Structure 1
Amino acid sequence: MFDTMTLTKTVGALCGSLLILLFGSWAAEAIYHGGGGHGDDHEQAYVIDTGEEEAEATEEEAGPDFAELFVNADTGKGERVFNKCKACHSLEEGDNRVGPYLHGVVGRTVDAVDGFAYSGKLEEATEEWTPESLNEFLTKPSAFAPGTIMSFAGLKSIEDRANLIAFLDQTDGDTYQMDVAASDATEEPAAEEEEAAEPATEEAPAEEATEEPMADEPAEEAEAPAATEEAAADEPAEEPAAEEAAAEEPAAEEEAASGFAAMVAAADAADGAKVYRQCKACHVADAEQNRVGPHLVGVVGREVAVVEGFSYSDALTGLGGEWTLDRLNEYLAKPRDFAPGNKMTFSGLRKEEQRASVIAYLQSLAE
């Protein structure tokens, strides 16, 4: 057994070793931090550059551009993202819930919905719900407008925000035109459309001139016997008549290409593809697949309400006839007025140029 002196020496040695370790640890920390103490406000004496901050900054700069994502957004995916908003918001105009209705929210003035009690914090942050301001708001509402009664935490994915905003943008039928660099490219086809439209306007007087003989066909028939008698007497006279008939055919073609049909012919299908984003959630244009609405493959010239497997409303089945260009133009302008009682919830495309371009796009898919 150990005696008292041996035990005392052993304990003393252990305590001494512990003190040496503690002192060494204190000295090393003091040297590393430059003697600035142990508080949270001290500055690090030696900074090792690992490149992490530059890498993070590079990742942020190389991230997707919201304007580009918005222009090419998928409204079908945006509708699925909207499921997170359904508990508090409605797409029906005037239907306020926990939050204000979102029909036509893109481009709307902030705090503009009648009958909803706003906190007053939103108007301090922005004046209008542009796609950019909505993107910033939906990222983190509490950070965008501190004090807002919006309790939603936000959407982390910029793709989800772009798709959702594009979906909300089509609720009132009037799409928001963003000022992006890509818009310069889209303006050129519009200029080309105007140039292509000029010859049509110059040919209009010739078309008007051809309408008068068309309206007076019986008179031509009455003179036909005399014409044939003269032709029998003088056979060479038939050649000018044939030349006149050949000249009338282009005039008839020009007449058929007038009006809205001429707009469709001059429209850019690429512009129509962008307008078609508003239809994606309910319709398929490149495959015979029905969704909320019937597929649109070959819709131009197709008989009304004939797609197999789709249940049409009585309002459309009773129309009959075909989907001509003029008929589609009238229908897309305001579906509810064209066929009252139909199941189409889309409010319509206000601009005739948009209607012409989207029909041109549908025609291009069928070619």
Structure 2
Amino acid sequence: MKKLLLICTTCAAPSLALAEGQIEVLSWGGAYTQSQVDAFNIPFEAETGIKVNMVDVDNPATPLMAQVKANNVTSDLASVGFSDATRLCDEGALIEIDPADLLPAPDGTPAADDFLEGALSDCFVATDVYSTIVAYDESRFPDNPPRTLADFFDVEAFPGKRGLLKEPRFNLEMALMADGVPAAEVYDLLSTPEGLDRAFAKLDTIKDHAIFWEAGAQPPQLLADGEVVMSQAYNGRIFNATVDEGKPFKIIWDGQIFEVEGWVIPVGAPNLDQAMDYLKFSTSAESLARASMQISYGPPRQSSAPLVGNYKDTDIPMPPNLPTSPENMGNALGFDNDFWVDHLSQLNERFAAWLAS
């Protein structure tokens, strides 16, 4: 696939710069959509003349599947999580995307060798890496701040309430890592009765100190209101609360659990060629680096990392605030969608029973 071309009024051969039309993109809304507008849409429209119409929904996978089932596809791309992309692809709702068609790295490295492991699949191209982390209010620990995931579970050395997600996912993984299990061994151990017992036993140690949350906006608010001193949270929410609202929050990257989300194209996309042009443009190393300067999600391409600068128009460097920065990945765990597809129903029941006990 040729690289995107700059506008050239004298070129005889057709190019993306001379394309016309419009595409519809399903996304998540808020700061996330705005980061895509700034990093992808504005330069893409200037480059190609193709208008990008963003439609924000709670979970783009849901209306996308409905469109395909109704044989009335109006959207050309959607931003979805990896697990939804896998499910939709298995159900035949998405077109397959050949990594060889994606733009290479600036040094010519093929995209397939440049994207991080797990960032590409048959029907999916990642655009960002985000994580579930532990954050704390540094004003509550002025002399001896927590530094590790184990500290989150140590209510004697670090007293106070903890915010926990009200479901087994992330809790079981973090419990084992806090109990000394290396990230690489977590899911193998969770696949055994002994591993599950060990995870729930670790959760028992903070159950009486826990406040459970269900929506991503809750942890920063719980911290700000003083209801908890530490909480599991999504890294982007904590970054925004710290930078945009001046909250005294800090992230513990030890034991972070990272995930990817990215683009899929539905079968029957009305503007397939333009959608592919947009997908290729927005997943270039340069575009993904621009996105990571708009929101604190890491780029899924290795070649993007050295291109990431400061947050928007500030003097705040973004690399230390990204899940993918080397200093933040020392004990990171990649979320295993396959494990949870196989075990979620069973573990939801056990977690509910644990909550009620």
| TM-score normalised by length of structure 1 | 0.23
Which structure has the highest helix share of the two? 1
Ranked by relative contact order (alpha carbons within 8 Å, sequence separation 6 or more), the top structure is: 2
Decide which structure has the larger Cα Rg and report it.
1
Greater per-residue strand proportion: 2
With structure 2 as the length reference, what TM-score do the two structures score? 0.23
